Structure 1
Amino acid sequence: MDLSDTQHRLLAYLREHIARHGYPPSQMEIARAFGFRQNRSARHHLEVLAQAGLIELATGRARGIRLTGPGTAGTPGDGLLQVPLLGRVAAGQPIGSDPEVRRELTLDPSLFRLRPDYLLEVEGDSMILDAILPGDLIGVHRTPQARHGQTVVARIEGELTVKRLDTGGAEGNGGHLRLLPRNPAYAPIEIDARIVDFAIEGLFAGLVRPG
């Protein structure tokens, strides 16, 4: 199927947007970027790209666009990931968990060192020396186990935080642990896992920085 100049530019725009933000644009954003007066003009061009086998469109979703054609970003054979954004995590003092799914993002697997099970929005600046900034969306690989020095999402008395894990020689789940910030303005969080409600929720898998 022959594509118009607008449709070629739209395909390039979709690829660039997903590579930069980790998720596709909405039809409203497409209309604004291309100067369309109505969203249905954006929908028409998207449907042409879908008929050409270059994208897939999911019904009932504001950002339900998935790249499928040649040049699609992602790990060969894996395709793009659909990852739920569940809520917030503190990079500072722990904050209450917010487990409801806010939305799903379509993401390139190459953004992550581990496969993310979900995303959390970072609140606070205690991890800035590890380039984890307020507003970043961090991928979390769900696991109850972690090694010394790994960056983890931990639950302390029902509240979540992202920090580096310092086991201090503790064995298993018992003993004394510390959660280390990566900002000298913050003190480590001291944990006695024998008496505090504490759990590792998962490992930091990578991040997406909204534009």
Structure 2
Amino acid sequence: MDKLSPRQTSILEYIYSRFQQDGILPSYREIGDAMGIRSTNGVSDHIKALTRKGYLQRVGGTGKSALARAMRLTDLALTELSGDLQPEASLHDLDMIEVGVYGSVAAGLPALAVEHREETLRVDRCMIPGAGQVFALRVSGESMIEDGILPGDYIFVRKQLTVRDGEIAVVMVDGECTVKRFFREGDRIRLQPANSTMEPIYVAASEFREVHVVGIVSGVFRKMG
């Protein structure tokens, strides 16, 4: 099965969240509004890709406003959306869990995160509090060192589409991924490093750049030796 791009993953998660909340799938217009996609044709391209890759299935209906009546989430989508965080079956210690590592993210200038599982971390459950789908990324760069996030560390990322001001988030900017503290400032977003020698990244609404939140950082893991 083809892997999803970060954008396709976010759209699929939004569709799933609306299905969980409302019992139906959202329209193309609702997806576009939630994802910051101005054209329904742009949404249509993503829906076609999700259908081709086996995550959505057409069951009837026509028109871009009729997604709720025309599509359904496949078993593949429902299985994968149930979470990447799974119990470690081979361990008798029920406090241990597995978290998939899906590549690297820059704690510096934005850099692309690889969207496939490269390895698995086995950690104590208490390291990842709360509920929701969690995955791990390996950190490169030094822009978050004053928050205790060092090059080579692993960050645990809880997938969600929203973030509060000041939270550490993994953010996609024009298709590239970075980890920073997130702030809204009028008509722009500030992605603030935790390194006094580095400047923040500003994204203004007038620039029409594509920005969306992948998730918030819920923990840090460091291998010794």
TM category, shorter: 0.5 to 0.7
Q: Name the residue aligned to 1:56.
A: none
- The residue number in structure 1 matching 2:91 is 67
Separation in structure 1 between the aligned mates of residue 180 and residue 128 of structure 2, nearest angstrom: 18
Contact 2:102 2:113 in 1 (8 A): no
Match of 2:141 in 1: 124
Cα shift at 1:82: 1.9
Report whether the alignment pairs 1:192 with 2:208. no
- 1:31 equivalent in structure 2: none
Which structure has the bigger radius of gyration?
Answer: 1
State the Cα distance separating 1:186 from its structure 2 match.
0.9
SS in 2 for 1:167: strand
Residue matched to 1:180: 192
| Cα deviation code 1:9-59 (max 9, x no counterpart) | xxxxxxxxxxxxxxxxxxxxxxxxxxxxxxxxxxxxxxxxxxxxxxxxxxx
* Unmatched tracts of structure 2, length 5 or more: 1-87
User: How many Å separate the matches in 2 of 1:135 and 1:114?
Assistant: 25
How many angstroms does 1:130 deviate by?
0.5
Q: What SS does the aligned partner of 2:166 have?
A: coil
**Cα deviation, residue 193, structure 1:** 4.4
Instruction: Work out which structure has the larger RCO, using CA pairs closer than 8 Å and 6 or more positions apart in sequence.
Output: 1
TM-superposition CA deviations, 1:42-101 (whole Å, max 9, x none): xxxxxxxxxxxxxxxxxxxxxx77432xxx473xxxxx2221100000001111121111
Check 1:93–1:109 CA distance in 2 against 1; reply closer, same or farther (3 A cut): same
CA offset digits 1:91-122 (Å, max 9, x no partner): 01111121111022222121124456110000
Alignment counterpart, residue 143 of structure 1, candidates 146, 150, 160: 160
2:127 aligned partner: 111
The superposition leaves residues 143-173 of structure 1 with CA deviations (integer Å, 9 ceiling, x where unpaired) of 01000010000001111100001112x4xxx
Q: Indicate the percent of aligned positions where both proteins have the same amino acid.
A: 32
| Cα distance in 1 for residues equivalent to 2:205 and 2:215 | 16
Tell me how large the CA RMSD over aligned residues is.
1.8
Matches of 2:195 and 2:128 in 1, distance apart? 23
- The question of whether the paired residues in 2 share the 8 Å contact of 1:97 and 1:158 is answered with no
Paired letter, 2:125: P
Q: 1:158 aligns with which of 175, 182, 190?
A: 175
Q: TM-score, normalised by structure 2?
A: 0.56
Q: Per the alignment, do residues 193 and 67 of structure 1 end up closer, same or farther by CA in structure 2, a change over 3 Å counting?
A: farther
Number of residue pairs matched? 135
Cα separation, 2, equivalents of 1:130 and 1:73 = 30
Question: Which residue type is aligned with residue 198 of structure 1?
Answer: V
The CA distance in 2 between the partners of 1:66 and 1:207, in whole Å, is 24
Q: What secondary structure is seen at the aligned counterpart in 2 of 1:67?
A: coil
Distance in 2 between the 1:114 and 1:185 partners? 33
Partners in 1 of 2:122 and 2:142 — Cα distance?
A: 26
Structure 1: state its 5+ residue gaps: 1-63, 75-79
